[in-house]
């Protein structure tokens, strides 16, 4: 269940993880296809230029997962259940900054394909490193929800139970619980990056600072 953590890594940090779930496997395969396509000839004789952008964990307006956690807390009478170790940290990046980085990367691929083509870049801004639970509480605490910590062993048991139920119920319905062995592994595994590669290659700087990211996201959550 457990994954290898990446603590303040960058694009050159070795991170050899064998994915077993469809979601991370498809992302890794897609990036490989995209980067290998760089430089291939297209019909008009020109060459295709590609790069890969890696958001560490997007949040912001329209973030369905925060909405799901809000709905669950309401159903539970204001309780938010967690149990991730205090030492866990994840890098997060605001959706507006991810979009801005895409725009800059697209322009750089046209103007400087020899520099950007075939490269992978983490998406980053100055959002704080926190566990997913702590980060979500930055926005959900305004509703006076109460947070209850569960023992890790119990979380692991519930995740395994949900995996089993999903396997049993798949022929009859789409049972997709938020807690399963994969989401628990992601939640308890630290993954943070520190890099300026996008700045060096195509002058990326976050369009929104942390205060703006938080204010814009909170305004959406409050609706």
- Rounded CA-CA distance 221/223 in Å is 5
Question: Tens of pLDDT along 99-131?
Answer: 999 999 999 999 999 999 999 999 999 999 999
pLDDT at 3 (0 to 100): 54
Instruction: Give residue for tokens 């297209």.
Output: 42
CB within 8 A of 13, min separation 6: which ones?
A: 6
Considering the chain, what is the average pLDDT of its residues?
91
Name the region of 8 (left: φ>0; alpha: ψ -120 to 50; beta: rest): left
For residue 67, count other CB atoms closer than 10 A to its CB. Answer: 12
Q: How confident is the model at residue 85 (pLDDT cuts 50, 70, 90)?
A: confident
The β-bridge partners of 121 are 53
pTM for this model (two decimals): 0.86
Domains of the chain: 6-222 (3.40.50.720)
Q: Which of 73-82, 110-119, 171-180, 205-214 has the lowest mean pLDDT?
A: 171-180
pLDDT at 182 (0 to 100): 87
Let me know if 23 is a catalytic residue. Answer: yes
The β-bridge partners of 120 are 52
Q: Which residue of the set 23, 124, 182, 208 is catalytic?
A: 23
């Amino acid at each position: 269940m457990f994954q290898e953590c990446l603590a303040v890594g960058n694009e050159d940090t070795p991170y050899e993880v064998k994915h077993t779930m469809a979601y991370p496997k498809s992302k890794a395969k897609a990036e490989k296809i995209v980067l290998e396509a760089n430089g291939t000839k297209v019909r008009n004789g020109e060459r295709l230029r590609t790069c890969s952008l890696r958001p560490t964990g997007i949040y912001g307006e329209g973030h369905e997962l925060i909405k799901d956690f809000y709905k669950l807390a309401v159903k539970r009478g204001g309780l938010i259940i967690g149990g991730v170790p205090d030492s866990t940290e994840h890098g997060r990046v605001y959706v507006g900054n991810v979009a801005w980085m895409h725009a800059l990367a697209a322009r750089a691929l046209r103007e400087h394909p020899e520099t950007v083509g075939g490269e992978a870049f983490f998406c980053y801004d100055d959002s704080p490193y926190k566990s997913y639970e702590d980060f979500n509480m930055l926005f959900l605490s305004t509703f006076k929800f109460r947070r209850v910590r569960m023992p890790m062993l119990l979380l692991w048991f519930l995740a395994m139970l949900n995996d089993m139920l999903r396997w049993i119920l798949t022929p009859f319905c789409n049972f997709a619980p938020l807690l399963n062995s994969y989401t628990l592994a992601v939640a308890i595994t630290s993954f943070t990056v520190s890099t300026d590669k996008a700045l060096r290659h195509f002058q990326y700087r976050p369009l929104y600072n942390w205060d703006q990211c938080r204010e814009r996201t909170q305004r959406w959550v409050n609706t």
